[in-house]
Structure 1
Amino acid sequence: MSDRVEQLILDLFAIEAVKFGDFTLKSGIQSPIYFDLRVIVSYPVIMNEVAELLWETTKKSGAKFATVCGVPYTALPLATLMSAHHDVPMLIRRKEAKDYGTKKMIEGKFEIGSRCLIVEDVVTSGSSVKETAQVLESVGLVVTDAVVLLDREQGGKQKLKEAGIELKGICGTAQLLEILRRHEKIPESVAEQVRDFVRNNSFLPGLEPPVKKSRKVLSYRERGDLCQHPVARQLFSIMEKKKSNLAVSADLCTAEQVLQLADQVGPHICMLKTHADIMTDFSTEFVQSLTELADRHQFIIFEDRKFADIGSTVQHQYRDGLYHIADWAHLTNAHALPGSGVLEGLKQVGLDKKRACLLIAEMSSKGNLATGDYTKATVKMAEEHKDFVVGFISQSQLTEDPTFIHMTPGVQLSGSGDGLGQQYVSPWDAVVTRRADVIIVGRGVYKDPDPASAAQRYQTAAFEAYQHRLAN
């Protein structure tokens, strides 16, 4: 078994399930080593070997159990393989109860009073195992044993023992470092850095592990009070007053269609997103009518122009041409690709008119290139131009700065795709999981036979998600 463990560690290192560098752990502590074991689901041979070693380690210990339960989520496939290969029933622990169906926290058949083995991928303080044990025990199961692939050896085993749970591990940090050093996968300086980290960051029994303090989630009103730009203040005020964080995208080709939609959904939205350049009959009369609707229904007009040229060119595109965007759109947007010149050009037109801009930091289309370093550079550019940039088009929250607004497109009540590369997320996922401030919905509203009712449904779903964030 020792040879198999050694080969497994080398395999995990090869697929980057074990990484060395500077990482922030769940607890908020900076660590020189990180175990990213979720990746093993893409390597079935390795995943099978992990499951078998977990099983053999458990049986060798003499542990008695009638069922197995993997700690959500990485350990779930490992528990599944153990169950399927050795004909032992499996239970599934939900992270939170559903508000429909049976509303159970534990799924599966079991006898009250029977023992359940907890399966985990990595143990640091043991808190995740303890949480799972508490849920299992709350429905009448008994937990006395747990098995883990990698024990970080920071006190988790001792804390679990204090809670009455015996932890068996395939490998610990010391053994892992010894194997990688022997095969010259890491230098001694890195190994010693990890050993020093483990020595100085152990979770002693009887003490709670250090927890990174979470920041208070500010309300829209509170965030608006912090904003300097009038458009940002106005938008947050509208969102708070109308109880709406919904923007509707009017991807329609005639003035009549856009104006009709704006009037129908106006009471339910904080913002209407337009595409002037797809309209066949754009006119000054259209602009006047749209502005009147925005005043009547209290929403921001956002022209989705996506400027992406040199400063002198975007000046003309923003101020002149057929559309005179700066005269009527409270908000527009731009790509960071051309560099800061695109913002300098737009600012020379927009600042005097008290207009604002969003930077496109991430996109919802499959295979887009707005990721990684590009996204980071976009955030930095926004920070350097806060007199004009008020937020981002993004798929997630990119900065903790409460004055920046994050708007997420590609939202539908049920996430899916459109066959043309668009990928959808639900309002809950966008606002709660990804921490968006505004959801942008297009076809889910304007293609509905009753756009007003559809907008109201999205408004309710998105604002309830925001209220959940505030409360939690």
Structure 2
Amino acid sequence: MTERDQRAAAFVREMIDRGVLTFGDFVLKSGRSSPYFFNLGAIADGAGLAVLGSAYAFETLALPTRPDVLFGPAYKGIPIATATAIALARDHGVEIGAAFNRKEVKDHGEGGLLVGASMAGRKVAIVDDVVTDGTAKREAFAMITEAGGEVVGVILALDRQEPAADGDQTAVRVLESIFNVPVRCVANLDDVVDYLGADPSQSGQWRRLSQYRRQIR
């Protein structure tokens, strides 16, 4: 098992233990039925955010171009950007700014839609939980560009490895082609299936997800 595979397996275990990755019968935003659900919003304490920040920090450092700023789209991207910036400074000695947007324009105080580090003339990586149809990422890209920043990568927690609604390519590959930047994911569906397959107590879930993986490919 490679170092990357070890990190992915550890991340999957943490996400299961923390109730982020759950199994059952779900209908996704895309309308597709799924035997699992990934909700990063279930992480709501310091220890969980530390795990998240460490995982995203590794992926940030693996980008071909190191960003100056991490941009977390509201709302789930906000704690991701913050936790990742902390982990980079604490564990790697790398100082990277964090920024995010408001859903509504603030008309008093500092005002505006953007909060945090300036993105003008700087390289920016978008950090978020997952990608479905890519709408939120397109909006983030537009905000960064309008603020004078250059998007150099996108980092996500999980690649579901499912075809996008409008073709055979996965949503992540579509995102890469739209932005023309690398999209890195801490883990993917293959990692989840491999982790379940290595745990005899999860044999039932392993069979369900293995079948699901065959259906979507």
Whether these two folds match at TM > 0.5 is: yes
Asked if 1:91 corresponds to 2:92, the answer is: no
Match of 1:145 among 153, 164, 170: 153
Equivalent residue letter for 1:31: S
Deviation for aligned residue 1:99: 4.2
Deviation for aligned residue 1:111: 4.8
Q: CA RMSD, aligned part only? A: 2.1
Equivalent residue letter for 1:82: T
Q: Distance in 2 between matches of 1:194 and 1:127?
A: 25
Deviation for aligned residue 1:119: 0.8
Asked if 1:13 corresponds to 2:34, the answer is: no
Asked if 1:133 corresponds to 2:141, the answer is: yes
Partner of 2:172: 157
Deviation for aligned residue 1:168: 0.8
Quick check: which has more Rg, 1 or 2?
Answer: 1
Gaps of 5+ in 1: 200-472
Structure that is richer in strand per residue:
2
SS at the partner of 1:144?
Answer: strand
Describe the shift of the 1:60–1:144 C-alpha distance in structure 2 as closer, same or farther (beyond 3 A): closer
Partner of 2:118: 110
Query: Retained in 2: the 8 A contact 1:97–1:105?
Result: yes
Partner of 1:174: 190
Q: Distance in 1 between matches of 2:62 and 2:119?
A: 25
Describe the shift of the 1:176–1:107 C-alpha distance in structure 2 as closer, same or farther (beyond 3 A): same
Deviation for aligned residue 1:81: 1.7
TM-superposition CA deviations, 1:32-57 (whole Å, max 9, x none): 22101111223x33321221121112
TM-superposition CA deviations, 1:181-227 (whole Å, max 9, x none): 2113242431134314533xxxxxxxxxxxxxxxxxxxxxxxxxxxx
Query: Retained in 1: the 8 A contact 2:151–2:181?
Result: yes
Q: Distance in 2 between matches of 1:98 and 1:22?
A: 40
Q: Distance in 2 between matches of 1:94 and 1:81?
A: 18
Q: Distance in 2 between matches of 1:139 and 1:47?
A: 28
Q: Distance in 2 between matches of 1:111 and 1:19?
A: 36
Query: Retained in 2: the 8 A contact 1:106–1:136?
Result: no
Equivalent residue letter for 1:104: G
Between the aligned residues of both structures, percent identity stands at 23
Query: Retained in 2: the 8 A contact 1:25–1:31?
Result: yes
Asked if 1:46 corresponds to 2:64, the answer is: no
Q: Distance in 2 between matches of 1:153 and 1:131?
A: 22
- In the TM superposition, 1:236-315 aligns within 5 A as none
Equivalent residue letter for 2:137: V
Query: Retained in 1: the 8 A contact 2:26–2:35?
Result: yes
Describe the shift of the 1:196–1:125 C-alpha distance in structure 2 as closer, same or farther (beyond 3 A): farther
Q: Distance in 1 between matches of 2:171 and 2:106?
A: 30
Query: Retained in 2: the 8 A contact 1:32–1:197?
Result: no
Q: TM-score, normalised to structure 1's length? A: 0.39
Deviation for aligned residue 1:124: 3.2
Asked if 1:194 corresponds to 2:212, the answer is: yes
Q: Distance in 1 between matches of 2:83 and 2:101?
A: 16
Deviation for aligned residue 1:16: 2.0
Q: Distance in 2 between matches of 1:180 and 1:75?
A: 27
SS at the partner of 1:41?
Answer: coil
Deviation for aligned residue 1:11: 2.1
- In the TM superposition, 1:117-128 aligns within 5 A as 117-128=125-136
